[in-house]
Amino acid sequence: MTTYSFRTIAGVAALLASTSIAGAVDYAAPQSMEDGAQADMAALSNDGDVRIAYMPPATEFNYYIAIGEGVKAQAAEAGVEVFMLAPQSGSDINGQMGMIQDAITQDVDAIILSTHDEAAAAPLVKRAVEKGIAVVIVNSDIGNFPTPVHAVVGYSQRNGTHKIGEYLVDKAGGEALQVGVIEGLPGYHSTERVGGFLDGIEGSENLEVVASIAGGWNVEGGNTAGMDLLQANPDIDVLFAANDYMIMGAALAAKALGKSDLVLLGNDGDTAALEEIAGGSVTATVNTTPFVMGQIALQVTLDSLDGNFGGGFVETPTVVVDGESVLPALQDPDSLYPKPSKSY
């Protein structure tokens, strides 16, 4: 297999053609994790009857279901058993901890885990690693889980939104534009996503960030934040939001205010946002390709068990999608969750 860097892929069609393939999936060369964060890869083995638990923080988030669909698809290609264990609510930390305990007692070979409480999960992860269970953290770019793990698989949030900042610079073409930013709730994810966008437009004297406020990660919060930004700063030309839900809410605010010429930029690659891009309500987003992330997480897990992965952080692909490039993604509904509302 040819190993390549996903950062070199220009468009969604090439991305999907390169990764949605039968058999093993290639991935970018792993980056070393911080000292003390890497579990011993030599302690893992494959007995030929592999069972893997995919354990997202909740089933209420479509993003994690999309990752799970990628995990499931790649497991089917490899002929291994995979099952999902997750509470319904992302706030049910105790529920997830109980499920991790259950997975350990079921003698699974590997756990692909994403959790909202790393500190609570750490003692259980430590127990799993000590039992020889491969633990792969998914949808993260933090290479220092509180206890050693075998691999981390996810997109670099700062690198992803840096791309959409660069996209805006190119789209502006030197025109003077005022920019409003809608942050998520305070924390690592918002800091990284907003920081990547700001880094992407840094040095562009024609782009001025005039205001930045929180939108709470949801459509309602994005609607409120968008309305506040546009009413307080009527000359804003661009809104960037740290996730797709908030930019979709901001799009509703722009429509209510009769502002049809705004540039609206999001992040995630949520199916609804892709459809809004196709319909012209949103300009562009960073497609973080959760289905492909799931494929890669499963492949890294198998390679870990087979002794073909040396450990580390694997960065998964991101690509900016706008009205000119969105159709290939929507025309591959098996790689999306939920499915598009219609055929494209």
Mean pLDDT score of the chain: 92
Tokens of 101: 């305990």
Distance CA 178, CA 269 (A): 25
Task: Supply the angle between the helices 290-305 and 62-78 in degrees, to the nearest 10.
Answer: 40
**pLDDT of the residue at 12:** 38
- The percent of residues above 70 in pLDDT, for the chain, comes to 94
Burial class (CB in 10 A: 0-12, 13-18, 19+), 299: buried
- Structure confidence at residue 283 (pLDDT): 98
Of 14-28, 61-75, 145-159, 237-251, give the lowest mean pLDDT range.
14-28
Cα distance between residue 11 and residue 19, in whole Å:
13
Whether the per-residue pLDDT at 86 is higher than 70: the answer is: yes
The candidate with the shortest Cα–Cα distance to 196, out of 153, 235, 245, 159, is 159
Category of 194 on φ-ψ map: left (φ > 0), alpha (ψ -120 to 50) or beta = alpha
pLDDT exceeds 50 at position 14: no
Asked if residues 192 and 225 have their Cβ atoms less than 8 Å apart, the reply is: no
214-260 residue pLDDT tens: 999 999 999 999 999 999 999 999 999 999 999 999 999 999 999 99
- Tens of pLDDT along 324-338? 999 999 999 988 999
Q: What is the predicted pLDDT for the residue at 144?
A: 82
Give the pLDDT of residue 23.
74
Specify the pLDDT at position 2: 22
19 pLDDT more than 60: no
Query: Where are the strands (E) in the chain, listed by range?
Result: 51-55, 81-84, 110-113, 134-138, 151-154, 177-183, 207-214, 238-241, 263-265, 284-287, 312-315, 319-322
pLDDT tens, residue by residue, 255-275: 999 999 999 999 999 999 999
Predicted confidence band of residue 11 (pLDDT cuts 50, 70, 90): very low
pLDDT at 187 over 50: yes
d(CA 21, CA 34): 32
Confidence of residue 16 (pLDDT cuts 50, 70, 90): very low
Helix orientation angle between 290-305 and 12-19, rounded to the nearest 10 degrees:
30
Sign, CA dihedral 265-268-269-273, equals negative
Q: Which of 3-17, 48-62, 66-80, 134-148 has the lowest mean pLDDT?
A: 3-17
- Tell me, what's the pLDDT at 308? 96
Give percent of the chain above pLDDT 90.
88
Give yes or no for a contact between 237 and 243, defined as CB atoms under 8 angstroms apart. Answer: no
- pLDDT score of 280: 97
In Å, the largest CA–CA distance within the chain is 64
pLDDT digits (tens, 9 = 90+) for 32-64: 998 999 999 999 999 889 999 999 999 998 999
Cβ atoms of residues 291 and 70 within 8 Å: yes
pLDDT of res. 142: 81
pLDDT reading at 3 higher than 90: no
Amino acid 10: pLDDT: 32
